[in-house]
Chains A and B, each alone.
Chain A
Amino acid sequence: MSDEVIEAKNVSKWYGAFRALTDINLTVRKGERIVICGPSGSGKSTLIRCVNRLEAHQDGEITVTGIRLHNKMRNVAEVRKSVGMVFQHFNLFPHMTVLMNCMAAPMWIKGVPEGEARKIALKFLERVRIPEQANKYPAQLSGGQQQRVAIARSLCMEPAVMLFDEPTSSLDPEMVAEVLETVTGLARDGMTMVCVTHEMGFARAVADRVIFMDRGEIVEEGTPHDFFRNPQHERTKLFLSQILSH
């Protein structure tokens, strides 16, 4: 078996007449850490949402952990089991405790017995360093804590790859650090991840590759060193000058 976790070939997507993605080619190998950046509306979120089929692509093919996502495939659940996703707005289940948020998927999807699921949940809550909040409800937690719970919730399914959709964009500045630290910790432990973010410091420190998207296309792709020091395209330079100037 090859070690390609995600493989996208010539992927295109339209919203009506608007072309959201244009011929995207992207390969993510096991253990790779990819950061996608770009101006708003450039299709970065759309791309990673296509990977776990929260959005459907219309052209090209996407293969995730060896399973090909094509238009008629109904069993997307298989893919979703092995792809974790963290959202900008956390999307925790507000009517469940933190612990239950983490136990739900293993119990209901994998059929893990309750005691076992509790152990798994506590293990990952420990890992995001909030085991003491286990019995609280999401509304009682700060934004940063909620996002860490959301990360733990995804980890409980022991996914092959984690997708982060602007995980820090709706957080107060002082909480960004704790979430990024958690994500960095995961990266260091070898988790395969694709992260859409505007945190360039994070990209520099963690990414194996940085991908710059604009108007639905991948404009430039490279190691953080090359990407930040020596951007090739005008659009990349403009974007970097805007984002790094302040």
Chain B
Amino acid sequence: MLMLYHDTVESEVLVHKPWFIGCIFAIVLAVFLIFNVAGTTMGELLRPVIGDHAQVKFYSRIAIAFVIAAMFCLNLVLIGFVPLKIQIGIVWFELVLLFLSLFAAFDLSMPFIWANLPFLITQGVVTTVYVSAMSLLFASAIAIIGAIAKLSSNGMAYAIVSFYTSCFRGLPLLMQVYLIYMGLPQVGYVINAVPAGVLALSLCSGAYMTEIFRSGIASIDRGQWEASRSLGFGFALTMRRIILPQALPVIIPPMGNTFISMLKDSSLVSVLGVWELTYLAHSLGQPTFHTMEMLVTAAMIYWILSACLELVQSRIEDHFARSKKR
């Protein structure tokens, strides 16, 4: 894991400082005194603490706030004792639990979700992943050509690419999707919904990624070019073997961002009636008023897919961290 510059001076653990814990305790206490949780799921969990809260409302609220604040602070102090990796694991686990309990409060119909999940995955997820993956591929190709054109001394190439990036970064993606799907037939080329979606997504992300690639390539020291050229490497060889491998570590994090946002932006293709995740979630839930079930499920699936991309990104970053070690 890469961190900020790690100071070697030993510092005290923040969550073990009495004043800090005191502050946190006071804040949590105040929050739960202001917001009454007695009637909610959380309040029900704390029923043993408060007894029959209907009778003494004020005291039950104090009791709940006090117990929650105490548990929260104890949790903080305990987490402060364990090593970094375990800390990360515990906090993640707790946040996920909290998040899921939020959805539990929505009172969703689980049987409905289980019944529709297989189709949501085999049709929706597959289409979403297909559209995103194709766009990702095309966008990368566009980006690398665009970046080189933008860095070249060819005025025409520069003009074309800067016009392209300006245009496709400037128009809302939804407009692009519509314009391509309904505009191309106007000039005599009828395009299907999926290719139209892929085209719009590739062109849009390609425009963003052109800038990412350009800045990545430009960030490599001139000396690398000079050394390569002086050894007799041609342009393509220098680019492929020397410049791009060094530019990639700079490019990967913003590219991960673009890919993740593209994955989610693929939901815009639903306006063309493509049976991808968002469209299906909407159309499966609506007839029986189970919209929330399907939306939450689709949201979770998007998150899982994004998390996979994040994982891939961090793997690649680790891979490139090798030559930085000392």
In B227-248, the 8 Å CB interface with A consists of: 227-234, 237, 241-242, 245-246
| Neighbouring A residues of B226 by C-beta, 8 Å | 54, 87, 91
A157, B230: Cα distance in complex, Å: 11
| Neighbouring B residues of A14 by C-beta, 8 Å | none
- Are A140 and B325 in contact (CB-based, < 8 A)? yes
Judged by a CB distance under 8 angstroms, whether B6 is at the interface is no
Q: From known contacts A137-B325, A139-B324, A140-B325, infer whether A93 and B224 are also in contact, taking CB-CB under 8 Å.
A: yes
A157, B227: Cα distance in complex, Å: 13
A104, B238: Cα distance in complex, Å: 11
| Neighbouring B residues of A94 by C-beta, 8 Å | 246, 323
| Neighbouring B residues of A93 by C-beta, 8 Å | 224, 227-228, 242, 246
Residue of A nearest to B228 (CB): A93
Judged by a CB distance under 8 angstroms, whether B326 is at the interface is yes
Encoded as 1 (CB less than 8 Å from any B CB) or 0, chain A from 6 to 43 comes to 00000000000000000000000000000000000000
Judged by a CB distance under 8 angstroms, whether B39 is at the interface is no
Residue of B nearest to A49 (CB): B226
| Neighbouring B residues of A89 by C-beta, 8 Å | 223
A96, B323: Cα distance in complex, Å: 7
- Are B231 and A154 in contact (CB-based, < 8 A)? yes
Judged by a CB distance under 8 angstroms, whether B17 is at the interface is no
| Neighbouring B residues of A96 by C-beta, 8 Å | 323
Q: How many residues of A contact B (CB 8 A)?
A: 28
Judged by a CB distance under 8 angstroms, whether A81 is at the interface is yes
CB distance from A162 to the nearest CB of B (A): 11
CB distance from A195 to the nearest CB of B (A): 15
- Are A95 and B234 in contact (CB-based, < 8 A)? no
Interface centre among B232, B234, B242, B324 (most CB of A within 10 A): B232
- Are A105 and B326 in contact (CB-based, < 8 A)? no
Q: From known contacts A91-B223, A95-B246, infer whether A108 and B237 are also in contact, taking CB-CB under 8 Å.
A: yes
| Neighbouring B residues of A137 by C-beta, 8 Å | 322-323, 325
Interface residue ranges, A against B (CB under 8 Å): 52, 54, 77, 80-81, 83-85, 87, 89, 91-96, 104-105, 108-109, 137-140, 150, 153-154, 157
User: What would 29 A/B residue contacts be, using CB atoms closer than 8 Å?
Assistant: A54-B229, A77-B234, A80-B229, A81-B232, A83-B230, A85-B227, A87-B223, A87-B226, A87-B227, A89-B223, A92-B227, A93-B224, A93-B246, A95-B245, A95-B246, A95-B320, A95-B323, A104-B231, A108-B233, A108-B237, A108-B241, A109-B232, A137-B322, A137-B325, A138-B323, A140-B325, A140-B326, A154-B231, A157-B232
